Structure 1
Amino acid sequence: MNSEKEILQQNFIKKSLLYRFSQFLGVLLGARFFIAVLLTFALYVSTFFLFNQEESFRNFVFDFKVHGIIFCTVLTILAGGIINQFYDLEKDHIVKPFRTRIQKFIKQKYFLYAYLILCVVSLGVAWMISHRVFVFFVVYQFFMWFYSHKLSRIIILNNFTFVSLTLYPFFGMMVYYQTFSGKIFLMAIFLFLILLCIDIVKDILTKNVDKAFGYNTIPNYFKSRNTKIIIIALLIVTMLVSMKIIYKMGISGFMAYYFILGLFIIIFCIYLLLDYSRKSKLVTLNILRLWVFIGIIAMLLNGIENRFID
Structure 2
Amino acid sequence: MISEKQSFQQKNYIQKSLLYRLSQFVGFLLGARFFVAALLTFALYVSTFFLFNQEESFRKFVFDFKVHGIIFCTVLSILAGGIINQFYDLEKDHLVKPFRTRIQRFIKQKYFLYFYLILTVISLGVASFISYRVLIFFIVYQFFMWFYSHKLSRILMINNLTFVSLTLYPFFGMMVYYETFSIKIFLMAIFLFLVLLCVDIVKDMLTKSVDKSFGYTTIPNFFDVKKTNTIVISLLIITMAVSMKIVTRTDISGSMYYYFVAGIFVMILCVYFLINSSKNSKVLTLNILRLWIFTGIIAMLISGIQGNL
2:47 is the counterpart of 1:28? no
1:69 alignment partner, SS class: helix
Q: How far is 1:7 from its partner?
A: 1.3
- Partner AA of 2:78 in structure 1: I
Give 5+ residue unaligned stretches, structure 1. none
**Cα distance in 2 between the residues matched to 1:203 and 1:225:** 14
Query: Which residue pairs with 1:180 in the alignment?
Result: 181
Deviation string 1:149-194 (CA, Å, 9 cap, x unpaired) is: 0000000000000000000000000000000000000000000000
1:214 alignment partner, SS class: coil
Q: Once structures 1 and 2 are overlaid, which stretch shifts more, 136-145 or 5-14?
A: 5-14
- Partner AA of 2:269 in structure 1: F
1:251 alignment partner, SS class: coil
Q: How far is 1:119 from its partner?
A: 0.4
Query: Which residue pairs with 2:6 in the alignment?
Result: 5
1:274 alignment partner, SS class: helix
**Cα distance in 1 between the residues matched to 2:223 and 2:171:** 31
Spell out the pairing of 1:102-181 with structure 2 (5 A cutoff): 102-181=103-182
- Partner AA of 1:96 in structure 2: K
**Cα distance in 2 between the residues matched to 1:104 and 1:9:** 25
- Partner AA of 2:292 in structure 1: W
Give 5+ residue unaligned stretches, structure 2. none
Deviation string 1:51-83 (CA, Å, 9 cap, x unpaired) is: 002100000000000000000000000000000
**Cα distance in 2 between the residues matched to 1:123 and 1:47:** 21
Any runs of at least 4 consecutive aligned residues in structure 1 with deviations exceeding 3 A, and if so which?
none
2:91 is the counterpart of 1:81? no
Q: How far is 1:142 from its partner?
A: 0.2
Query: Which residue pairs with 1:228 in the alignment?
Result: 229
Query: Which residue pairs with 1:258 in the alignment?
Result: 259
1:216 alignment partner, SS class: coil
Spell out the pairing of 1:171-250 with structure 2 (5 A cutoff): 171-250=172-251
Query: Which residue pairs with 1:285 in the alignment?
Result: 286
**Cα distance in 2 between the residues matched to 1:54 and 1:286:** 36
2:290 is the counterpart of 1:294? no
- Partner AA of 1:185 in structure 2: F
Deviation string 1:84-109 (CA, Å, 9 cap, x unpaired) is: 00000000000000110000011000
**Cα distance in 2 between the residues matched to 1:244 and 1:144:** 32
2:143 alignment partner, SS class: helix
**Cα distance in 2 between the residues matched to 1:193 and 1:70:** 24
2:223 alignment partner, SS class: helix
Q: How far is 1:130 from its partner?
A: 0.1
**Cα distance in 2 between the residues matched to 1:134 and 1:83:** 20
**Cα distance in 2 between the residues matched to 1:99 and 1:184:** 36
**Cα distance in 2 between the residues matched to 1:193 and 1:290:** 15
Give the alignment's Cα RMSD to 1 decimal: 0.6
Deviation string 1:13-56 (CA, Å, 9 cap, x unpaired) is: 11101100000000000000000000000000000000002100
Query: Which residue pairs with 1:94 in the alignment?
Result: 95
**Cα distance in 2 between the residues matched to 1:32 and 1:92:** 13
Deviation string 1:198-252 (CA, Å, 9 cap, x unpaired) is: 0000000000000000000000001211000000000000000000000000211
Identity %: 73
**Cα distance in 2 between the residues matched to 1:182 and 1:104:** 48
**Cα distance in 1 between the residues matched to 2:81 and 2:108:** 18
**Cα distance in 2 between the residues matched to 1:279 and 1:7:** 48
TM-score, normalising length: structure 2: 0.99
**Cα distance in 2 between the residues matched to 1:225 and 1:110:** 43
**Cα distance in 1 between the residues matched to 2:247 and 2:108:** 51
- Partner AA of 1:257 in structure 2: Y
- Partner AA of 1:148 in structure 2: S
